[in-house]
């Protein structure tokens, strides 16, 4: 049989049927009778498990069935004729149903003709049998019919009394306690007439029930169970072959004993052993029997194990495949490379290649590359690309080595392909799992560098959700010109600064970059000539601007002036900074940029941060991705430069507050706890006033929670009074770089009430949370109020309560991620082949309309402003100028659409993540 | 039960299109009828239309559905009536 190539057909339907023994023998290339595999010369034995009729796995040999060589022969099935029949484990459920639903004597379905027809008709009406061709058309139908039939005690056709058939797992059937041999089972099934099978949902033309009892066992081709030759020269057989050997041995012994008229007991034992081997050949994890094991104790991997589960054929080989031209390693940061770039270790660059087709214009260049050999270095040991393989026009691959480089180079001519090692500027795809959105896989330009990690700019961490606590990422080298062009246009990092999820930036400053920008622009900070020159040098060749202030007679440059140098010259923008909501001076909290000059305000998260950065968003939207990329790159450099000049650190003393404040906090907390005690007393005395719609207990809980919540906030306020913007931790929290004021007040002031499911803690012992309290103590301390701060440390009971609350958080995140992951996978599988057509409709592959207009409004969310097509305020400002807008002061638009919601959601998530702390531990 | 589902807030408005209107819609969308989204003949909305129009709605007729939309305010869709 020649393999057909280039013939494509559309699969309209798939029909599942059972293999009949006849069919098994017909498709069999040879009968297998001997358990031996190879003779002494290592040659396959005829009618053995490695018979050459079953296909070839060794080069040089030819298949005795089709005459093909290793790569041409697809392999052919053989078969084993079983001395005695055996039950197929995969069908025991169906077999049990059939035995119970049919007569033990005449084989008819235990229903009258009318009853049977009514079941069949009902199923047809319900549309359960849409294709009459299915072998087992409707499991539902089989269940219903069988249920009714099983209830019959007397056969309506021959009046024979029925007995109870039970399944003795995994494969033995009993009738009233007597064992039914597979042979008896098979005989019974043979007696069921075709017409009685249809109401059971079985199509007898392609699935006779007796075929579920095996008499001829198909032997898989050797190509699916190849033997491997170890270095020692020993041959090692596949697990399936091992199992087939067992089957053949026992089958042989069973036949001999049976023919010799051995005692029934011996024959039965062997028969059961044969059943065991056939069961484990199919499924080696059948419950109720010990799995067949290797000599080493490892369980064998048989048919079902090859298909099932994560490592099975479906999930491991069909849904996901391994690829060439890819690399994986740990990632680490490099603020000096562009967001568009990725730092690639030399070792990886030498291994990964791009095919270069030899043309007229590059013949000499390619010859030169090849001649350099596979590991060329330039001056000072600088990396130079070499060529790993040369592919001749006839498809032969020649490995280039130092020895043959010269000769191979000479042989290179038009039509050759050289696999060139990567150089700076090559386009690659970069990816971090879990790939939850399209920004999880972006195109980067290669920068070959020393070291063994992939380097990336910190501003691209948010879309990948990457950090550097051991995260690894994958890199794929594109192999065709078209792929590279597409990737560069569609997948480049700079094209994804604005997210389609919520029409705002996903790429932007994080952590120290925000701190750096803050230090640069806050409180009239300035730089002397030397510092200014250093900062500007980071941006390349920039003219030194005129100094705008004098400090102690020396010319100084203000941070705002320096930051302005990287802003587009005609940028005008006003917004509130992240730092100042609480009683801050308006000058610092309102950022005003006029014609590319920062007039007032500090540059912080709201200006340049990922997700929130107004400047990034404005530049990306109005001036395009290239301008935005340049802005982000330069911000990174300036911020890193500044933070290194100014210095920045945080430590436990950032949470120090004066003794007096501590006393004040203790007083506030004491007062709140006393109030709760009073509430509890009022409740116990029956004097508590019930809240409408709430029980007395609920009223108490709500009131107590309110009081204690306020106490925690007050404690935070008191602590906050002593934590000013000279404090590094506060700078980080207020500028949006990391942490929140809540985190700080919990560290310095009071941790507050611990809760499980939104309620004060109540579980544990009888009427109390811990044995340290009296039963029925409803006071603050007994129900999880933690007065200590993280810095002062927790009391043992507090620690326990805190762990309870903390555990709930962990469980929630674990449950949430697994559930939302599964939900997302189903969603993606359902939507993956939909696309937006030229006419704006969303259609599937058969061009059926799914949505008449994308998103119903036809708006590309990536180009939207927080989900809306047009930002009216912004347009007005552009047209009328900032003064007009200020004078007119438009009413705040009602936030509508998913954009607004998404933003709120993001804030929540960010807070959550911060509250939990981001340590990955062993869980990268 | 005497409940008119069409009065429920979450049920969009349905209008039966004439053959001529249908042709116009199909021409404008440049699609075949089979490529439209479907609505079952036994859908409560179709049953309601049949009752109020006093005619049976055959397979292949097209209804216009006007519903509220988060993003677009109101949105118009078309569905072709199918047996099942
Ligand atoms: Mg990590
Ligand atoms: Zn062959
Ligand atoms: Zn009978």
Report the separation in Å between the CA atom of A151 and the middle of ligand 3, taken as the mean of its atom positions: 14
The C-alpha atoms of residue A225 and residue A210 are separated, in whole angstroms, by 28
DSSP A484: H
Confidence band for A914, pLDDT divided at 50, 70 and 90? very low
- A857-A859-A865 Cα angle (round to 5): 120
Give a three-class secondary structure readout of A710-779.
HHHHHHHHHHHHCCCCCCHHHHHHHHCCCCCHHHHHHHHCCCEECEECCEECCCCECCECCCCCCCCCCC
Question: A848 and B34: CB-CB below 8 Å?
Answer: yes
Q: Of all helices (H) and strands (E), which one includes residue A121?
A: helix A113-125
pLDDT tens, A359-398?
999 999 999 999 998 999 988 889 999 999 999 999 899 9
Q: Which residues in chain B are contacts of A847 at CB distance < 8 A?
A: 31, 35
Calculate the average pLDDT of chain A. 87
Question: Is B71's CB within 8 Å of A852's CB?
Answer: no
Secondary structure tally for chain A: helices H, strands E: 27, 30
Omega of the bond prior to A311 within 30 degrees of 0, cis?
A: no
- Which sequence spans correspond to the domains of chain B? 5-82
Task: Give the residue from chain A lying closest to B25, CA to CA.
Answer: A852
DSSP string, A153-190: SB-TTT-PBP--EEEETTTEEEETTEEEPHHHHHHHHH
CA of A172 to the centre of ligand 3 (A): 23
Average pLDDT over residues A536-565: 91
**How far does the CA of residue A856 sit from the closest CA of chain B (Å)?**
6
Q: How far apart are CA A91 and CA A209, in angstroms?
A: 10
Interchain CB distance below 8 Å, B36 and A849: yes
* Among A249, A270, A104, A277, residue whose Cα is nearest residue A176: A104
Q: How far is the CA of A742 from the centre of ligand 1 (A)?
A: 24
Q: Does the pLDDT at position A923 exceed 50?
A: no
Report how far Cα A449 is from the mean position of its chain's Cα atoms.
30
| Interface test with chain B among A126, A130, A849, A850, by most B beta carbons within 10 Å | A849
Lowest mean pLDDT among A704-708, A720-724, A899-903: A899-903
Which of B71, B75, B77, B82 should one mutate to test binding to chain A, selecting the residue with the greatest count of A CBs within 10 A? B71
Tokens 């039970």 correspond to: A166
Put simply, whether B74 touches A (Cβ < 8 Å) is: no
Query: Both tokens of residue A585?
Result: 């001076």
Q: Evaluate if residue A339 carries a pLDDT over 90.
A: yes
CB of B72 within 8 A of CB of A856? yes
Backbone angles phi, psi at A868, to 5 degrees: -95, 150
Tell whether the model's pLDDT for residue A892 goes beyond 60: no
Cα separation, A899 vs A863, whole angstroms: 12
Residues of A in contact with B80 (CB under 8 A): none
Interchain CB distance below 8 Å, B71 and A859? yes
Q: What is the mean pLDDT of residues A297-305?
A: 93
- CB atoms < 10 A from the CB of A345, how many? 18
A221: Cβ–Cβ under 8 A, 6 or more apart, which residues?
A54, A55, A74, A75, A76, A77, A78
Q: Which residues of A touch B76 (CB under 8 A)?
A: 852
The whole-angstrom distance between B79's CA and the closest CA on chain A is 10
Span A764-809, pLDDT tens digits: 899 899 999 999 888 889 999 999 999 999 999 999 999 999 999 9
Chain B CB contacts of A850 under 8 Å are 37
Q: What pLDDT shows up at residue A255? A: 94
> Could you tell me which residue, A332 or A909, shows the higher pLDDT?
A332
- Type and span of the H or E element at A808: helix A796-831
Instruction: Find out whether B41 and B57 touch, Cβ atoms under 8 Å.
Output: yes
**Dist. CA A198–CA A118, nearest whole Å:** 12
Write the CB contacts of A703 (distance below 8 Å, at least 6 apart in sequence): A679, A688
Kindly state the percentage of chain A with pLDDT values over 90: 55
- Look at residue A68 and tell me whether its pLDDT is greater than 60: yes
3-state class (DSSP) for residue A835: strand
Return the residue of B nearest to A850 by Cα: B37
Name the burial class of residue A55, with classes exposed (0-12), middle (13-18) and buried (19+) by CB atoms within 10 angstroms of its CB: buried
Closest CA to A640 of A514, A466, A531: A514
Residue A916 has pLDDT above 50, yes or no: no
Vertex A879: Cα angle to A494 and A499 (nearest 5): 25
- Give A505 to chain B, closest Cα distance, Å: 21
Helices (H), A832-924: 872-888, 897-916
CA-CA distances (angstroms) from residue A270 to A83, A276, A291, B76? 11, 10, 18, 72
d(CA A523, CA A515): 13
pLDDT at residue A793 in the model? 93
Q: How many Å is the maximal CA-CA distance in chain A?
A: 119
Distance A863 CA to ligand 1 centre (A): 30
Among A847, A850, A855, whose Cβ lies nearest the Cβ of B71?
Answer: A855
| 3 state SS of B64 | strand
Predicted pLDDT of residue A888: 53
B68: closest chain A residue by CA: A856
Q: How far is ligand 3, taken at its centre, from the CA of residue A116, in Å?
A: 15
Ligand nearest to the CA of A469: 1
pLDDT over 60 (residue A587) = yes
> Bigger pLDDT: A920 or A623?
A623
Q: Do B71 and A867 touch (CB under 8 A)?
A: yes
8 Å CB contact between A21 and A48? no
For residue range A728-773, what is the model confidence (pLDDT) as tens digits? 999 999 999 999 889 998 999 899 999 998 889 988 899 899 999 9
Distance from CA of A243 to the nearest CA of B (A): 49
What is the band of A127 on the pLDDT scale with cuts at 50, 70, 90? low
Q: How far is the CA of A331 from the centre of ligand 1 (A)?
A: 10
The shortest C-alpha distance from B59 to chain A (Å) reads: 18
**Which ligand is nearest the CA of A922, by number?**
1
Asked if A859's CB is within 8 angstroms of B76's CB, the reply is no
Helices (H), A498-613: 512-521, 529-537, 559-564, 586-589, 605-608
- A902 band by pLDDT with thresholds 50, 70 and 90: very low
A850-860 pLDDT, tens per residue? 999 998 888 88
* A chain contacts of residue B34, beta-carbon cutoff 8 Å: 848
Chain A residues contacting B via beta carbons under 8 Å: 127, 839, 841, 843, 846-850, 852-853, 855-857, 859, 867, 896-898
| pLDDT above 60 for A870 | yes
Query: Which domains does chain A possess?
Result: 31-76+220-309 (4.10.860.120), 89-211 (no CATH), 326-504 (2.40.40.20), 653-812 (1.10.132.30)
Q: What is the pLDDT of residue A899?
A: 38
Task: Quote the pLDDT of residue A434.
Answer: 86
Per-residue pLDDT band at B69 (split at 50, 70, 90)? confident
Cβ atoms of A77 and A23 closer than 8 Å = no
Instruction: Determine the distance in angstroms separating the CA of B42 from the nearest CA of chain A, rounded to an integer.
Output: 14
- In terms of phi and psi (left: phi > 0; alpha: psi -120 to 50; beta: otherwise), the region of A774 is beta
Question: With bands split at pLDDT 50, 70 and 90, how would you rate the model's confidence at B5?
Answer: confident
Q: How many CA atoms lie within 13 A of B81 on its CB side?
A: 24
Task: With beta carbons under 8 A apart, name residues in chain A contacting B82.
Answer: none
Q: How many CA atoms lie within 13 A of A760 on its CB side?
A: 29
Percent of chain A with pLDDT over 70: 93
What is the pLDDT at residue A896? 39
Report residue A900's pLDDT band, with 50, 70 and 90 as the boundaries: very low
Q: Is B54 helix (H, G, I), strand (E, B) or coil?
A: coil
Chain B residues 12-41 with CB within 8 Å of chain A: 29-31, 34-37
Span B8-28, mean pLDDT?
92
CB contact under 8 A, A897 and B71: yes
Supply the CATH classification number for the domain B5-82. 3.90.940.20
- Residue A527 has which token pair? 């730089």
Is residue A402 within 8 A of residue A373, CB to CB? The reply is: yes
Q: Model confidence over A497-523: pLDDT tens digits? A: 999 888 889 999 999 999 999 999 988
DSSP string, A386-426: -EEEEE-TTS-EEE--TTTHHHHHHH--TT-EEEEEP-TT-
Per-residue pLDDT, A316: 85
- Alpha-carbon distance of A124 to A305, in angstroms, equals 36
Binary contact (A898, B78; C-beta < 8 A): no
The C-alpha atoms of residue A748 and residue A659 are separated, in whole angstroms, by 12
Binned at pLDDT 50, 70 and 90, residue A590 comes out as confident
- Closest residue in B to A901 (Cα–Cα): B70
By the CB criterion, residues less than 5 angstroms from ion ligand 3 are A 103, 105-106, 155, 157-158, 160
Among the bound ligands, the one closest to the CA of A468: 1
Contacts of B31 in chain A (CB under 8 A): 847, 849
**CA-CA distance, A235 to A227, in Å (whole number)?**
7
Q: Which two tokens stand for residue A292?
A: 């067949």
pLDDT for A903 beyond 60: no
- CA dist A834 and A849 (Å) reads 10
Pick B31's closest partner by Cβ from A849, A855, A897.
Answer: A849
Q: Which of residues A120 and A588 earns the better pLDDT score?
A: A120
Query: Is residue A898 scored above 60 in pLDDT?
Result: no
**In sequence order, what DSSP letters do the residues of A204-217 get, joined into one string?**
TTT--GGGGEEEEE
**pLDDT score of A891 more than 50:** no
Shortest distance, CA B71 to any CA of chain A (angstroms):
6
Ranking A646-650, A893-897, B34-38 by mean pLDDT, the lowest is: A893-897
Q: Retrieve residue A871's tokens.
A: 């930002």
Q: How many CB atoms are located within 10 Å of the residue A208 CB?
A: 19
- Residue A477 CA to residue A610 CA, distance in Å, equals 28
Nearest-CA distance B2 → chain A (Å)? 27
| Closest by CA position to A446, among listed A478, A414, A471 | A478
């Amino acid at each position: 049989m020649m393999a057909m190539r280039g013939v494509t057909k559309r699969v309209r339907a798939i029909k599942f049927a059972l293999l009949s023994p006849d069919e098994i023998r017909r498709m069999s290339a040879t009968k297998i009778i001997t358990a031996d595999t190879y003779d002494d010369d290592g040659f396959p034995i005829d009618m053995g498990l490695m018979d050459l009729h079953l296909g070839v796995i060794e080069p040089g040999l030819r298949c005795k069935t089709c005459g093909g060589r290793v790569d041409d022969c697809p392999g052919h099935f053989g078969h084993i004729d079983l001395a005695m029949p055996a039950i197929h484990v995969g069908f025991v459920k169906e077999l049990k149903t059939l035995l119970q639903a049919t007569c033990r004597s005449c084989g008819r379905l235990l229903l009258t003709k009318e009853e049977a027809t009514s079941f069949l008709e009902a199923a047809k009406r319900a549309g359960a049998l849409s294709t009459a061709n299915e072998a087992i058309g409707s499991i539902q139908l089989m269940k219903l019919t069988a249920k009714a039939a099983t209830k019959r005690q007397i056969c309506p056709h021959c009046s024979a009394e029925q007995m109870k058939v039970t399944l003795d797992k995994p494969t033995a059937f009993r009738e009233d306690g007597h064992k039914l041999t597979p042979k008896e089972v098979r005989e019974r099934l043979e007696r069921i007439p075709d017409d009685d099978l249809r109401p059971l949902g079985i199509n007898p033309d392609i699935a006779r029930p007796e075929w579920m009892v095996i008499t001829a066992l198909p032997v898989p081709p050797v190509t699916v169970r190849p033997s491997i030759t170890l270095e020692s020269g020993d041959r090692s057989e596949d697990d399936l072959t091992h199992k087939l050997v067992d089957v053949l041995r026992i089958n042989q012994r069973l036949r001999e004993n049976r023919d010799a008229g051995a005692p029934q007991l011996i024959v039965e034992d062997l028969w059961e052993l044969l059943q065991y081997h056939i069961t484990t050949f199919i499924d080696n994890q059948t419950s109720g029997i010990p799995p067949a094991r290797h000599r080493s104790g490892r369980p064998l991997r048989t048919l079902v194990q090859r298909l099932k589960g994560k490592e099975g054929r479906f999930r491991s080989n069909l849904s996901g495949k391994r690829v060439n031209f890819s690399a994986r390693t740990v990632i680490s940061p490099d603020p000096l490379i562009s967001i568009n770039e990725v730092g690639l270790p030399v070792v990886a660059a030498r291994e990964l290649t791009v095919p270069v087709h030899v043309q007229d214009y590059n013949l000499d260049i390619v010859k030169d590359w090849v001649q350099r050999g596979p590991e060329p270095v330039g001056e000072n040991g600088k990396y130079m690309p070499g060529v790993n393989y040369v592919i001749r026009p006839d498809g032969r691959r020649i490995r280039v080595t130092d020895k043959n480089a010269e000769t191979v180079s000479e042989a290179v001519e038009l039509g050759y392909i050289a696999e060139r090692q990567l150089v700076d500027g090559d386009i690659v795809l970069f990816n971090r799992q879990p790939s939850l959105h399209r920004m999880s896989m972006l195109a980067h330009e290669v920068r070959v560098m020393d070291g063994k990690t992939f380097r990336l700019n910190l501003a691209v961490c948010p879309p990948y959700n990457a950090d550097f606590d051991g995260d690894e990422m994958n890199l794929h080298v594109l192999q065709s010109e078209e792929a590279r062009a597409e990737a560069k246009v569609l997948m480049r990092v700079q094209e994804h600064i604005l997210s389609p999820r919520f029409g705002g930036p996903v790429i932007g400053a994080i952590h120290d970059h925000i701190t750096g920008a803050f230090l640069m622009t806050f409180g009239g900070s300035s730089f002397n000539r030397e510092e200014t020159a250093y900062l500007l040098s980071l941006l390349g060749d920039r003219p030194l601007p005129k100094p705008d202030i004098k400090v102690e007679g020396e010319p100084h440059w203000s941070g705002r002036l320096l930051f302005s140098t990287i802003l587009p010259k005609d940028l005008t923008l006003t917004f509130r900074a992240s730092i100042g909501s609480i009683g801050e001076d308006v000058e610092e909290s309102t950022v005003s940029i006029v014609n590319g000059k920062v007039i007032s305000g500090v540059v912080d998260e709201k200006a340049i941060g990922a997700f929130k950065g107004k400047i990034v968003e404005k530049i990306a939207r109005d001036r395009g991705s290239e301008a935005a990329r340049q802005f982000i790159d330069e911000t990174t450099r300036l911020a890193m430069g500044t933070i290194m000049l100014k210095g920045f650190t945080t430590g436990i003393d950032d949470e120090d507050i004066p003794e007096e404040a501590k006393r004040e906090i203790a007083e506030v907390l004491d007062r709140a706890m006393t109030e709760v005690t009073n509430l509890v007393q009022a409740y116990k005395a029956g004097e508590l006033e019930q809240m409408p719609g709430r029980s007395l207990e609920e009223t108490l809980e709500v009131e107590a929670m309110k009081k204690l919540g306020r106490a925690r906030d007050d404690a935070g306020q008191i602590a906050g009074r002593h934590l000013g913007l000279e404090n590094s931790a506060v700078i980080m929290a207020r500028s949006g770089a990391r942490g929140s004021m809540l985190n700080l007040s919990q560290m310095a002031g009071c941790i507050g009430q611990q809760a499980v499911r939104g309620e004060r803690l109540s579980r544990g012992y009888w009427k109390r949370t811990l044995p340290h309290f009296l039963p029925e103590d409803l006071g603050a301390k007994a129900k999880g109020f933690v007065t200590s701060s993280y810095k002062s440390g927790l009391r043992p009971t507090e620690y326990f309560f805190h762990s309870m609350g903390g555990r709930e958080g962990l469980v929630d995140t674990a449950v949430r991620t697994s559930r939302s992951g599964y939900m997302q996978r189903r969603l993606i599988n359902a939507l993956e082949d939909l696309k937006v057509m030229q006419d704006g409709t969303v259609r599937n592959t058969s061009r059926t309309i799914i949505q008449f207009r994308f998103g119903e409004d036809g708006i590309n969310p990536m180009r939207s402003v927080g989900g809306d097509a047009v930002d009216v305020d912004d347009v007005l400002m552009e047209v009328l100028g900032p003064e007009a807008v200020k004078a007119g002061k438009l009413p705040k638009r009602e936030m509508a659409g998913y954009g607004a919601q998404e933003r709120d959601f993001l804030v929540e998530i960010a807070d959550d993540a911060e509250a939990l702390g981001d340590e990955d531990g062993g869980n990268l | 039960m005497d409940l008119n589902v069409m009065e429920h807030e979450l049920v969009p408005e349905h209008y039966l299109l004439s053959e001529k209107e249908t042709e116009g819609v199909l021409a404008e969308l440049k699609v075949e009828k089979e490529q439209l989204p479907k609505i079952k003949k036994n859908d409560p909305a179709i049953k309601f239309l049949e009752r109020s129009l006093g005619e049976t709605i055959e397979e292949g007729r097209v209804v216009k559905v006007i519903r509220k939309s988060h993003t677009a305010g109101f949105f118009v869709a078309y569905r072709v009536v199918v047996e099942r």
